[in-house]
A and B are shown apart, each in its own frame.
Chain A
Amino acid sequence: MTTALLVLTLASTLAVGAWLGAWFDRLAPLLYGGRAAGPLAPLRAGAAALLRPRIETEAPDRMNARLAPGWYLALAAAGLSVVPFAPGAALIETPVGIVVWGSCEALTIVAVFLHGWSPNAPFPLIGAYRYAAIGLPVMLPSMFVLIAAALPAESLSFTAIVESQREVWNIVRQPLGLPLFLIVGLTLTLRGPMDFADAADIAGGTSAEDSGPGRALWQGARLAMLVSFSAVAATTFLGGPLGPALPGPVWLWIKTAAIMALTVAVGHGVARTTPSRMLTILWVVLLPLSFVHLLVSGVLAL
């Protein structure tokens, strides 16, 4: 019974969250004096994409072209399943929650790669390989950040990480964590400075040859991944469902929406450098920063 309820909650969180994320994307022009769109705009855009036909490229990998958006969506849902909606109430209650989420991140690289590989076309292919080159090293800061969050909790489960934040949130005692994790989120959701898969200089990259329902599903899965990432970040740094007066899930939703807004804003306002430079930055700047973050978190946890 609880499981069925959690499955429903999770599915509706993903759906409503995806709509909210798409709306945030359309509110972003406000930051630059542009026109914002109303709350119906994401639904209209979705309907427009669904109405368009699908086309098939020359000699594609048909199976992977069809399934890649599905894998991406499944990973978003599986990732969200380890997040507790109320203290102790995650759909997947496992002692190794952060490793499950890490696997979802790693498999996301595979899903995006397959999406770019399958059409047998140059721009998607370039996007796929670029994403692999950037996505793989981005795993390292992600692992450092989540391991650092596991130190005070003495456990790899998100429920324990939430419990460890009863006194003080991780964003206070691990200040470097959220900025580093935000970079991971931008990579997972193919956004702004980390959007090396679907960039403008390759005509939309892995989705350059997408049209119709396949395109709609891919964009939907990106937004679903935004929801999952934000929920994980809210759980790790903002105490997840903890909070006064309101019930747990409501707090989680509020915090998730806040992280989503932050991610969308950063995605729209920060420039993307070339992949070669980003690779150097990841290893030479962000990896040492992750070391420092772990060290500081470790000293503070003792």
Chain B
Amino acid sequence: MSWLARLAAGAPAPVYPVIGEGAQPRVERLFASAALERAQSPRAAALLLVSGNIPEAHREALDRVHDQVPRPRLGLHWEGDDGIEERLLDAWRTLCAGATGDADRLPDEPPNPWEGEGDFGQGGEGMMGGVPYGRPMAMTGEDVRDGLELDRYTARVGPFAPMLPPGLVLEVTLQGDVIVACDVLSPPYPQPEDADDPALCAARMLRLLGLPGPADRLIRGGAAHAIGARRAIPRGLGRLENAGDARMRFADALRGRNGGAADGIFDTLIGLEWSEAALALASVTPSALRQAALEVA
């Protein structure tokens, strides 16, 4: 083992958590206290922590996230038993010692066949045509805000996106960073009642506001001392009938109160900028969001 590897083995294990059914509260509590690094994307991780049941329909998405962790990588399953921290640290040390780790799960095929087509083999034709490097280019369309008809980018985000609740798959169409169309393809996974704990709900908002320290403290049972957390949320964002807006729900969660139903939350997303949309979704409890998603999905 080189000195670099020995040094690296002492670092907190970089983990990307994949949260399945019923695992959200325990994963959030694990990362609030353990000496682990919760990676924001699989690119920054070496370990993939899969916790809870993943439905068959999301198997491919799981494999994709798994493959996006750079090799050498290791995937671990966790069903809530003790000693997960040691298991993760052991796995990290094994990787640092030169283990080859898990192989890719998805076949090494481009999203569209393209090689050898076009003048330079790039797969495209003309200015905008074909599938250069395996994908087509975005095309123009209507906008909901200023009427400039620029490109619309459509993608499915989730079910394991770090800024969305686990299990939620949104098919969003963006113009720039503003959502111009949005469909719920799959609702968030069912979670135990514990996931609606106001501390966990407020901590999710704090994380989106760039305050992981206060968020961890809140989960461990302390008070969140942060400057401007409530005022950073725009007034009127994600306003629902009988449930106020995101700022109010956040203030309620900090006071230890849970919000009510979230019906209609997905309709408020159209026209929001991406970070506003993420805040609006995080401002309602997982159970309420699941109900709202089941109604529109």
Chain A–chain B contact at Cβ < 8 A = yes
The chain A residues found within 8 Å of chain B, CB to CB, are: 28-29, 31-35, 37, 40-41, 43-45, 47-48, 50-55, 58-59, 122-123, 126, 129-130, 192-193, 195, 199-204, 207-212, 215, 268-277
Which one of B22-30, B194-202, B227-235, B287-295 is at the interface? B227-235
CB proximity of B44 to chain A, nearest CB, Å: 6
Interface residues in B230-264 by Cβ distance below 8 A to A read: 231-234
The chain B residues found within 8 Å of chain A, CB to CB, are: 4-5, 7-8, 10-12, 14, 35, 37, 40-41, 43-44, 46, 70-71, 96, 132-135, 153, 155, 161-163, 174, 176-177, 206-214, 216-217, 220, 222, 225-229, 231-234, 273-276, 278-279
List of B residues within 8 angstroms of A28 by Cβ: 213
List of B residues within 8 angstroms of A44 by Cβ: 7-8, 10-11
13 pairs across A/B with beta carbons < 8 Å?
A31-B225, A33-B217, A34-B216, A41-B11, A47-B4, A122-B153, A126-B177, A129-B176, A202-B163, A271-B231, A273-B234, A274-B275, A275-B273
B234 x A277 contact (CB < 8 A): yes
CB proximity of B176 to chain A, nearest CB, Å: 7
B4 x A50 contact (CB < 8 A): yes
- Closest B residue to A192 by beta carbon equals B210
Q: Which of A48, A50, A126, A277 has the most CB of B within 10 A?
A: A48
List of A residues within 8 angstroms of B37 by Cβ: 45
Among candidates A32, A41, A58, A215, residue contacting B222 with C-beta atoms closer than 8 Å: A32
Among candidates A35, A48, A211, A273, residue contacting B8 with C-beta atoms closer than 8 Å: A48
CB proximity of B151 to chain A, nearest CB, Å: 11
Bound form: Cα–Cα A130–B274 in Å: 11
A203 x B161 contact (CB < 8 A): yes
B41 x A201 contact (CB < 8 A): no
Bound form: Cα–Cα A84–B178 in Å: 45
B43 x A55 contact (CB < 8 A): yes
List of B residues within 8 angstroms of A32 by Cβ: 213-214, 216-217, 222, 225
A269 x B70 contact (CB < 8 A): no
List of B residues within 8 angstroms of A192 by Cβ: 210
Bound form: Cα–Cα A207–B231 in Å: 27
A269 x B43 contact (CB < 8 A): no
Among candidates B162, B210, B216, B234, residue contacting A203 with C-beta atoms closer than 8 Å: B162
